[in-house]
Structure formats: structure tokens, C-alpha cells
Structure 1
Amino acid sequence: MSNDPQTPASDSVADAVRGNWVDTLAPAWSRPYLRLSRADRPIGTWLLLLPCWWGALLAAASGTGFDGKTVWICVGCAIGAFLMRGAGCTWNDITDRDFDAQVARTRSRPIPSGQVTVKGALIWMVIQSLLAFGILLTFNLNAIVLGIASLAIVCIYPFAKRFTWWPQVFLGLAFNWGALLAWTAEAGTLGWSAVILYLAGITWTLFYDTIYAHQDTEDDALIGVKSTARLFGEDTARWLSWFLVATVTLAGAAVMLALVAEASVLALTLGLGGAWALGWHLLWQLRQLKPENPEVCLRLFRSNRDAGLIFALFLAAAVAA
């Protein structure tokens, strides 16, 4: 993705970052598959990874402490997020290939543009999934079970836009599952703090993906694809303000429940400060929003990497406190 979408040259993808490493450094034979995985647009990997880091760091701050296991969970989740985001995007493009061919922003993707066959895409999806499963097997049994359970949501998500105006909820369920998994990998069992953190991630996803969906509202209306952007229309800013409040409230509640009994006052203050700082970033996005301007929507969507990192950094500081 880029702040300024441009018409791609030859086989590159329309909304990829200009001069990205896939187009400039990757071997020619691998480029269509890396594009299928969105390796040329890393924001999705960040948005899948950050809830994992939230979960692992909040669990560490709640009493398990930061050690080699925590480091591996954070690193393993980073590798797994890259692989599973790639597998999920591949599955999404397989199921959406007919829709993508009708939308200006997506018709240059590998399948509708003819760079990759459906059979080739399926094989590539399986390879990525198996590699990610190998990472998952290094975690404890409860985390492994949670990881396997997430596949049901991943499979359903691409079809959500066909039957509900709220496909962003399904995206939130899938993209924030890592908060549950990483907490469990760190703490050993699932806790209520992780569940509340998961809900915070879902409302955050509703916030940023509604902004993202405003890029395609005209094309989506023509082909009958549903989204919260189309549902909210001119009321988008009001809805986003509610998602903002819900995200901060839920994130703060997760921190309170996890840290109030065991952690120091400084750790609790830092954790709550992270939730508050996340909220301020979302407020900045809301004030900058121009739903009718695709370039602004894309820029604000991509800024959510920084929003999520802010919260993660505060949680890391809480672990050290």
C-alpha cells in the first residue's frame, strides 16, 4: 500500500508501496506469490501481530515476568503473523477473485490479473499454513488448541461481506485472536483479561477497517458487497467515535483486571497510559478523516500500525516496571 495509489507498471499491484522489496529485490518467479501474500503491503501483518504482542506483554506484566519464553512468543508470533496473514490473504483472494476483477483497486492482484492460477494459490496457501503450524507447535497445548480453533473464523471471513453489513466484525474476530493465543502461550491458561483485550482489538478493527472500506464504497455498491463503510455512510464519524470509546474502555479494563492485584502502581499506570495513548491516536485519525478521499483513508488506515505499537510499548514498559 502507499499513501498515493498509482497505476501499476506491468505486473505490480495497484495499491502496493512504490519501490517495495517484492518488486525490486525478490526473484521474478516468487513475486506473484509474495504479492498474493501481501508481502509488498506489510500493514496487515502488523495489524495481525500487534494484538499478539499485547496479549503476551500484558500476561508478562501480570506476573509471569519477561524471560526467554516471552521473547520467543513475541518472535514466533511475528513469524506466524507474516505466514498466516499471507495464507489468509491467499484464501481471501481465491474466494474473492470474481469480485476483485470488478474493482479498480484490486483487479491487478495476482489471481484476477492472471499471474497465479487458483491451483497454484491453493498450494501456496497450504505451504504457508503448514509453516505457521510448525511455529504454533512450539507453544503450550492450550495455545495450540486456540490456534487451530482460529481457522474456522479465517475460513468464514471472506464470505462475510456477502451476507452481513458487518464483515469487519469477522475480520476483528480473526485478526485479534492472537491476543487470546499469546496470552495463553505466556500464562499457560486463558484469562478474562485476555478476553477483554480481545474485545478491545475487535472494536479497534471496526474503527480502522471501516476507514479502509471507504476506499471502495462506490465499487462495492455496484457489485453488491456489504461493509460498515456503506452501512454507516455519512454517519461514519459518529460510529467511529463509539468504536474509539469502546476500544479505550475495554483496553483499560483489561489492564486493570490483569494488573491491579499483582503489579506495581507504576506498571498499572503505564498500562492504563498505553490504553489512553492508543485512544489519542485514534482521535487524531478521526479528526483527519475524509471518507470521500481514498488517499486519506489509506493513509489513516496504515497509521494504525503506530497506534497499536504505542499500546504495545507501554505494556512493555509495564513489564519492566
Structure 2
Amino acid sequence: MAQASKLMASSHSGVHFISGLNHQRRPSLADLPKSSLKPVKSNSKISPYTVLENSSATFRRCSVVKHIKFLGRGCSNLPIRDPHFSASAKSLERGEGGQPVPSSWIEAIFPEQARPYAYLVRLDKPAGTFLFAWPCMWSLAFTANAGTLPDLKMLAFFFLVSFMSRNIACNINDYFDKDFDSQVERTKGRPLASGAIAGFQALLFLAIQLLLGYGVLFAVNKLSRLLWVSSLPWIFTYPLMKRITYWPQAYLGLTISWGAAYSWAAVKGSLDPTIVFPLVLAFFFWTLGFDTIYAHQDKEDDVKVGIKSTALLFGDSTKLWISGFAAASIASLALTGFNANIGWPFYGLLAAASGHLAWQIWDVDLSNPADCSRKFVSNIWFGAIVFGAILCGRLFS
């Protein structure tokens, strides 16, 4: 090392070819006549004649330097480091071996400081937004007159409202559950559980979302706005239900299905109980089914940390229970269509939607968390089939 230091100090350029095997002094650029220096073709923007003024910075950046390659090529033969994950990557849910599973589009689009908030509201997992939106979409489809389609602007508007409502729900859920999430393998990498963001930051972000959500709803009538606000206590207290009852999925069903009420009120200015309430009931039973499947992903960890769910309550009888919920959901949808005087195509497509639920229940492997996740996400298509059924029924009324 002393020999190497002398070599470094002997040249005003400060750059030499250093070999770990040969410590003999090699001539520096200062020892050579200028006439003997010939330009060397290089793609580097650094001239081979000039001194790298930032050579010390290069040494600082490289923890172990075996040699510095001449002709302005920079560092080579450096040891390969393990991938470096930013603070936002700590918010990712964990894959096999406990390593963060990156979500490339969030990493590519959002600045590093914003990424934990994107993961907090599950922007990388849009299935939840669709499940929040379907009761609104179904209800708006029923508001259409015979032979017409619903207002497309209203559909887009309430999809935005559903997106914001779901974000608020994820935010408050993770705030209350951060200590539990840190003990569950699937969720221990979430932003609050992993410490990527602090509790105060999450609450401040929540307050901003609430103000934006209420502000957006000034575009609709007062009844719709009040009905949306009335759903917030359910959203805020849902995470606490996991601690006191084995039926938190029922509470979630009431929370999400209320979208059918405030979206209907935005168009009609009042509620028609013969249509809205059976529709709310249909979504309530559907939620009981798909969220029970979802809860089977974490049942082993839930037992350890003391969280309750219908997955634990039903156990080996789960498929029998969710079959009953599916039948009740389809029956409630059929009653809604009958009360709304909808056309015959609705019932044909409703039968197809029933087949989708039957496939889910028959095929799901409740002991396989990955399969439970896939079946949960597939409910997006059940919602789409029912939405298409209502649209076709209205067009052919």
C-alpha cells in the first residue's frame, strides 16, 4: 500500500495503472515526451491527455477498487453489489425469501419520496378499486331509461369516487393494522408496517384525501354527498372489526355496497328502496364470499396474531358457506332486475355470472394463498358480467 501511495503521489496527473500483482513503478504521462503521445480513439468524453479531477470521487464511490482502467474508461472489475432497494421498496409486499417484489411502473413513474404513498393506497393492485366501483356502476346502469345507456360522465365520475374511497380505506386500514401487518408474511413489507412512512405522515395523507374526496362530491347533489359521508364511519371502523368479531367481511360488505345508494341518489335525487336495497344486499353477499376467499391467504398468520375472520370461523365448511352467499347474491340481483322491469337479456347474462361464481367456489384451493389471490382478483370479471347484463337488459327493455 505504501508503494502504491508513492506511485500515486509521483505524478501530477494522479492517475496510474495500478496492478495488484506488480508493484514496480511504471512511467507516468509526465515522463513521456509530448511528441510521443498520440490520440487514442475512445468513446469516452474524457480526453486521454487530461487529468481526471474527480478521481478521488471515483475512489469514494467504489468500495473496493482492483484497478482503474486507463484511457478514460472509468472503473472496471468492480465487485458486484447486491441490488439496492430504495425506501419505497420497503413498502412492497414480500415474495419468496422475504425479498421485496418490485412494481416496476410505480418505481418508474413516481419519485422516490412518493412511492411509499403509492404503495400505501395499492396503486399497483387495481382489483380493489374495481370491487369498490362495481356497486356504483351497477346502480348507475339501473338508472338508465329503457332502450338507453347510463350517463357516461356519471360512470367516469363515480369510478373516480370509488378510486378515492378505496384509497382512503387502504390508508386507514394500514394505519390501524401496522403492528399486525408487520407479523404477517404477506403484508410485512407494507409502508407503515415496514417503517417506510410514519404514522403521522399517513394520517396527514389521509386528511388530504378526505378533503379532496368531499370536494369532488360537490359536483353532485346534497343527498349523494351525505350518503357518501355516511359511509366513512364504516370505512374508518372496519379495521377494528377484525379484533372483536369473526364477521369483519360482513362489515366490509356493508361498507362497499353503500356505493349503490349514493350513486343512485346522484342521478335520481332520491332512493328507490325496491331497487337500491336489493342491489345493496346483492353486493353485501357477494363481498362475504370473495373476501372470505381472500382471508384464507393469511389464516395461519391471523391465528398467531389474534385477528378474526370468516375464513377462520368457517374453516373446512367455507365452500358450503360461500355457496350460500353466492346464491343469495344472485337471487338479490334477480329481484333487483324484476323490480326495475329490466329486459330478458339481463337474466341470461346473470346465469353466466352465476357460472363464474360456481367455478370460483369449485376450483379454489383454500390451502393455497396464491390461488386464493387469483380467485379473489377474478371477481373483477363477475362484476363486469353483471354490469354487461344490466346494460343489455336496459337496452332491450
Partner amino acid for 1:286? Answer: I
Deviations 1:161-203 (A, max 9, x none): 1111100011111111111111121222111211110000010
Aligned match of 2:348:
273
Aligned match of 1:287:
362
Partner amino acid for 2:254? Answer: L
**TM-score calculated relative to the size of structure 1:** 0.90
CA–CA separation in structure 2 for the residues paired with 1:29 and 1:273: 50
Partner amino acid for 1:112? Answer: A
The runs of 5 or more residues in structure 2 that have no matched partner are: 1-83, 96-100
Aligned match of 1:231:
313
The 1:186/1:271 distance shift into structure 2, 3 A limit, reads: farther
Alignment of 1:66-105 (within 5 A): 66=149, 70-105=151-186
Shift of 1:275: 2.8
> Contact between 1:51 and 1:201, CA under 8 Å: does it hold in 2?
yes
Shift of 1:29: 1.7
Aligned mate of 2:288, from 206, 213, 217: 206
Aligned residues: 304
- After TM superposition, the structure 1 stretch with the greater mean CA deviation from structure 2, 278-287 or 9-18, is 9-18
Higher relative contact order (CA 8 A, sep 6+): 1
Deviations 1:31-79 (A, max 9, x none): 1001111111111101000110001101214x59546xx2222111111
Aligned mate of 1:171, from 243, 252, 258: 252
Runs of 4+ with >3 A deviation: 15-20, 63-67
Does 2:374 correspond to 1:299? Answer: yes
**SS at structure 1 position matched to 2:296:** helix
> Contact between 2:261 and 2:276, CA under 8 Å: does it hold in 1?
yes
> Contact between 2:149 and 2:391, CA under 8 Å: does it hold in 1?
no
**SS at structure 2 position matched to 1:309:** helix
Q: Which has the higher helix share?
A: 1
CA–CA separation in structure 1 for the residues paired with 2:147 and 2:204: 40
Does 2:260 correspond to 1:182? Answer: no
> Contact between 1:211 and 1:301, CA under 8 Å: does it hold in 2?
yes
Aligned mate of 2:298, from 189, 195, 216: 216
The runs of 5 or more residues in structure 1 that have no matched partner are: 1-7, 260-266
**SS at structure 2 position matched to 1:112:** helix
CA–CA separation in structure 2 for the residues paired with 1:258 and 1:122: 42
Q: Give the superposed CA RMSD.
A: 1.9
**TM-score calculated relative to the size of structure 2:** 0.73
Aligned match of 1:121:
202
Q: Which has the larger radius of gyration?
A: 2
CA–CA separation in structure 2 for the residues paired with 1:66 and 1:188: 19
CA–CA separation in structure 1 for the residues paired with 2:347 and 2:102: 37
The 1:25/1:207 distance shift into structure 2, 3 A limit, reads: same
CA–CA separation in structure 2 for the residues paired with 1:128 and 1:20: 25
CA–CA separation in structure 2 for the residues paired with 1:123 and 1:180: 29
